[in-house]
Structure 1
Amino acid sequence: MSLADKIFVDMCKDILENGTSTEGEKVRPHWEDGTSAYTIKKFGVVNRYDLSKEFPAITLRKTAIRTCTEEMLWIWQRKSNNIHDLNSTVWDEWADADGSIGKAYGYQLGVKHQYKEGMMDQVDRVIYDLKNNPFSRRIMTNIYVHADLHEMNLYPCAYSMTFNVTHQPGDEKLTLNAILNQRSQDVLAANNWNVCQYAVLMHMLAQVCDMKVGELVHVIADAHIYDRHVPIIRELIKREQHPAPKFTLNPDVKDFYQFTTKDITIEDYVTGSQIKNIPIAV
């Protein structure tokens, strides 16, 4: 069965059984009807996914892998902060009349910085280092820029990636590992969505840098289940589990900026029924 299912189920059980409630506290999120959106939360959740063994899509319900990849490419490849450049509606809630989400996410990755090697943005810097200095302990991105927070329509949730390359004995290729740092996560709505999109990112970067994929470590400071999501989660984690799907990339793409969602192939993805109309706290 999918290891991602086991990780997800164990995490949800831990939150429900050992988490703390924010009920009665002053909280920012609210439901569409104006009521406060309380959570049960756990601090400091750490999940490890070995991408060399399987693609980490849960099978309890279907994760829209191409759609979450589209969002990832909007941020990391197009470096956009405008929903008109995104072929989905997931960011509509946070966009202004012109479609902008402010100086957030893709905007920050597209800002060029002066390095000894020249002017580069954060994505190009990562690719440069993976190709030219793979054993550096300084290969990372950070989009939680305090100077620009007042101009962001939503503070970044997944805000930092740290890449680390290892050389396994006997392997011809180096292995790409990464840590995804997230300050806050709505477990039902976003957990496997984020895991899958950053797993795809690692596959893409590994391919263009002639590496193998290794571990994705997901660190969540505040992993929470919203009050109105609790019964949905309880039903979800009791479902039948299936083997992980097979994930492949178009091997002909060697430039990160040439990838599209059409370069992804997902096979044998058997899942439980989709959960529709999940209430989202804003």
Structure 2
Amino acid sequence: MSLADKIFIDMCKDILQNGTSTEGEKVRPRWEDGAPAYTVKKFGVVNRYDLSKEFPILTLRRTALKSATDELLWIWQKKSNNVKDLHSHIWDEWADKDGSIGKAYGYQMGVKHQYKEGMMDQIDRVIFDLKNNPFSRRIMTNIYVHQDLHEMNLYPCAYSMTFNVTQKKGADKLTLNAILNQRSQDVLAANNWNVVQYSVLVHMLAQACDMEAGELIHVIADAHIYDRHIPIIEELISRQPYDAPVFTLNPDVKDFYEFTRNDVKLENYVTGPQIENIPIAI
């Protein structure tokens, strides 16, 4: 069993057995038929993934590595807020007629700020610090910008990354670790998708800064399973898990801005059947 499968199964069981229900409460999300989308939720879920040992992608069902990477690069590399720059259509429901999702996600990553070292956006600041001041305790990003919330078609869910560099005894290279903070997560639809995305990000930044990938800590304030997802989750976590696949990143790419979705690969990725047509609460 891969560690990602074990963490996912344990988390889902904990939510279903010990979580609290929002049924009967005033909730914002709705199903396509207009019915309120209630959840069973846990507050303050923390999952740890050691990227030096295993790539945390589920085998219970397939997670689309290249599509997840494409969305990550859309936000972190292209710094785009337009769905026309994506290969998938997962953001279409939040886009306006021109394809924009407003001042959200990639838009915030592209905003330049004044630092002592000059004008930089958040991504360039992270890379600058990792290369020039790797042991800083101030290497972080935040896209939950209150002054722009009214112009975001969707408030950011995964909103903050904090990077921390360590030196392992006897190691030639430094180790890059990160914490992903998420205010809210649809466990069935998005959990492993986000874990995979930010694991890829840590690997890419580590390679671009001549480091090794270390730990990814995923902190979820509100980890929830929607009411209509419960039987799907119960079936999913009853499946046979497989061993984790081997993840590789194109070793020839040394510049973060040169990575593409085709630079990530998995070997021996064996999974259970895909779940089709998952209902999504809007």
TM-score range relative to shorter protein:
over 0.9
What CA distance in whole angstroms lies between the structure 2 residues aligned with 1:90 and 1:162?
26
Residue identity opposite 2:280 in structure 1: I
2:171 maps to what in 1?
Answer: 171
Which residues in structure 2 correspond to 1:31-180 (within 5 Å)?
31-180=31-180
What CA distance in whole angstroms lies between the structure 1 residues aligned with 2:189 and 2:265?
23
What CA distance in whole angstroms lies between the structure 2 residues aligned with 1:271 and 1:178?
27
What CA distance in whole angstroms lies between the structure 2 residues aligned with 1:104 and 1:146?
11
What CA distance in whole angstroms lies between the structure 2 residues aligned with 1:126 and 1:31?
38
- More displaced, 225-234 or 259-268? 259-268
Tell me by how many angstroms 1:119 deviates.
Answer: 0.3
Q: What do the CA deviations read for 1:117-148 (whole angstroms, capped 9, x no partner)?
A: 00000000000000000000000000000000
Tell me by how many angstroms 1:265 deviates.
Answer: 1.5
Q: What do the CA deviations read for 1:210-266 (whole angstroms, capped 9, x no partner)?
A: 000100000000000000000000000010010111111110101000000111111
Q: Does 1:6 align with 2:12?
A: no
SS of residue in 1 equivalent to 2:60 = coil
Q: Does 1:261 align with 2:261?
A: yes
What CA distance in whole angstroms lies between the structure 1 residues aligned with 2:191 and 2:47?
11
1:17 maps to what in 2?
Answer: 17
Residue identity opposite 2:131 in structure 1: K
Tell me by how many angstroms 1:60 deviates.
Answer: 0.2
Residue identity opposite 2:148 in structure 1: D
SS of residue in 1 equivalent to 2:219 = strand
What CA distance in whole angstroms lies between the structure 2 residues aligned with 1:252 and 1:232?
41
SS of residue in 2 equivalent to 1:270 = coil
Q: What do the CA deviations read for 1:55-106 (whole angstroms, capped 9, x no partner)?
A: 0001000000110000000000000000011111010010000000000000
1:279 maps to what in 2?
Answer: 279
Residue identity opposite 1:98 in structure 2: D
TM-score normalised according to structure 2 size: 1.00
Residue identity opposite 2:58 in structure 1: I
What CA distance in whole angstroms lies between the structure 2 residues aligned with 1:152 and 1:265?
33
2:225 maps to what in 1?
Answer: 225
Unmatched tracts of structure 2, length 5 or more: none
What CA distance in whole angstroms lies between the structure 1 residues aligned with 2:41 and 2:95?
28
SS of residue in 1 equivalent to 2:33 = coil
Give the length in aligned residue pairs.
282
After TM superposition, what 4+ stretches of structure 1 lie above 2 angstroms from structure 2? none
What CA distance in whole angstroms lies between the structure 2 residues aligned with 1:61 and 1:37?
24
What CA distance in whole angstroms lies between the structure 1 residues aligned with 2:52 and 2:257?
23
Q: Percent identity?
A: 80
What CA distance in whole angstroms lies between the structure 1 residues aligned with 2:278 and 2:168?
43
